[in-house]
Structure 1
Amino acid sequence: MTTAFEDPQVQRIFAGFPDHARPGLLQLREMIFQVAARTEGVGKLRETLKWGQPAYLTVEPKSGSTIRLGLPKQGGFALYTHCQTTILSDFQALFPDDFTYEGNRAIHFRPGDRLALDRLALLVKSALTYHLR
């Protein structure tokens, strides 16, 4: 099942992503919504744009830190977390060699990569519950 877009601007951004990146970004988007729906304490999730990128944040309650999806300059596509948190560094400690990291702010993917959604769900859950710790 695919979560419907509530914000037409976000939908336009996804439609404008290159064909090679869009499927992976849509998979990540759907996984974010699924993790939010099954994680206690997350509440309502808002999909909006931040810095021109699709962004996911908790609004009721404000339990988490923003997650963004986008296209890094190096190519491919990426999932971003707030760089002034320990979200990504904590995740990298668990899976140091499983992903391509950009410091403490992003995980990069190449088009056609098989996404390890089960492991990435742990990262998303950590971000969406960051302020509940």
Structure 2
Amino acid sequence: MQQSSDIEARLDRHPEPTRSALKRLRRLILDTAAATPGVDEVQEALRWGQPSYLTKTGSTIRIDAVSGSQYALFVHCQTNLLASFREIYGEALVYDGKRALIFDAAAPLDEDVVAHCIALALTYHSRKRGGARGGAPR
């Protein structure tokens, strides 16, 4: 597992306001993981040069800047996670195909909505095994 200082250094490479937005998203991922029943231990590491969050109960989440003040929360493109997010939240979120949610660092982040998407990703494998669906937001 990477040291959190490696993750911090990677995030610190980005200019403001993207740096602060990515750090808020990182904190939201870790807080959501801790607060979500059934989420196994989350390992934070650099994968493909991006801060990544891995757990046995869910699909890997990665975060990174994408362009200008935009940043993203990436999920595995072979899951149905983005389709589930679209079904639940429709046009309330910005999607990049089957792989990412896109945010703008200059705009407020709806933390309740994004935390629900994070919880769905972090429990993806356990829900898939149990046959549970995404359900309503927390």
**CA 1:54–1:39 in structure 2 vs 1: closer, same or farther (change >3 Å)?**
same
Aligned to 1:17, what secondary structure does the other structure show?
Answer: coil
Rounded to whole Å, the distance in 1 between the matches of 2:68 and 2:101 is: 12
SS at 2:119's partner residue? helix
TM-score, length basis structure 2: 0.85
Q: Aligned AA for 2:80?
A: T
Q: Which residue of 2 aligns with 1:9?
A: 6
Return the match for 2:20 from 4, 18, 23.
Answer: 23
Q: Which residue of 2 aligns with 1:52?
A: 49
Residue ranges of structure 2 left out of the alignment (5+ in a row): 128-138
Q: CA deviation at 1:115?
A: 0.3
1:103 alignment counterpart: 97
Percentage identity across aligned positions? 38
Secondary structure, aligned partner of 2:85 = helix
Give 1:82's aligned residue: 76
User: What is the rounded CA distance, in whole Å, between the counterparts of 1:17 and 1:39 in structure 2?
Assistant: 29
**Structure-2 separation of matches of 1:115 and 1:130:** 23
Question: Offset of 1:21 from its aligned partner?
Answer: 0.4
- Extract structure 1 runs of 4+ deviating beyond 2 A: 5-8
Q: In structure 2, do the counterparts of structure 1 residues 114 and 73 end up closer, same or farther at CA, with 3 Å as the change threshold?
A: closer
Structure 1, unpaired ranges of 5+ = none
Question: Comparing both structures, which one devotes a greater share of its residues to helix?
Answer: 2
Instruction: State the 1:75 CA deviation.
Output: 5.2
Question: 1:8 Cα shift?
Answer: 2.4
RMSD, aligned α-carbons: 1.6
State the alpha-carbon separation in 2 of the partners of residues 49 and 25 from structure 1.
Answer: 14
Q: By how many angstroms is 1:27 displaced? A: 1.1
Residues 77 and 98 of structure 2 are in contact (CA less than 8 Å); yes or no, is this contact kept in structure 1? yes
Letter in 2 for 1:95: Y
Quick check: 1:43 aligned with 2:37? Answer: no
**Shift of residue 41 of structure 1?**
1.6
Cα displacement string for residues 72-95 of structure 1 (whole angstroms, at most 9, x for unaligned residues): 247511111111001111011111
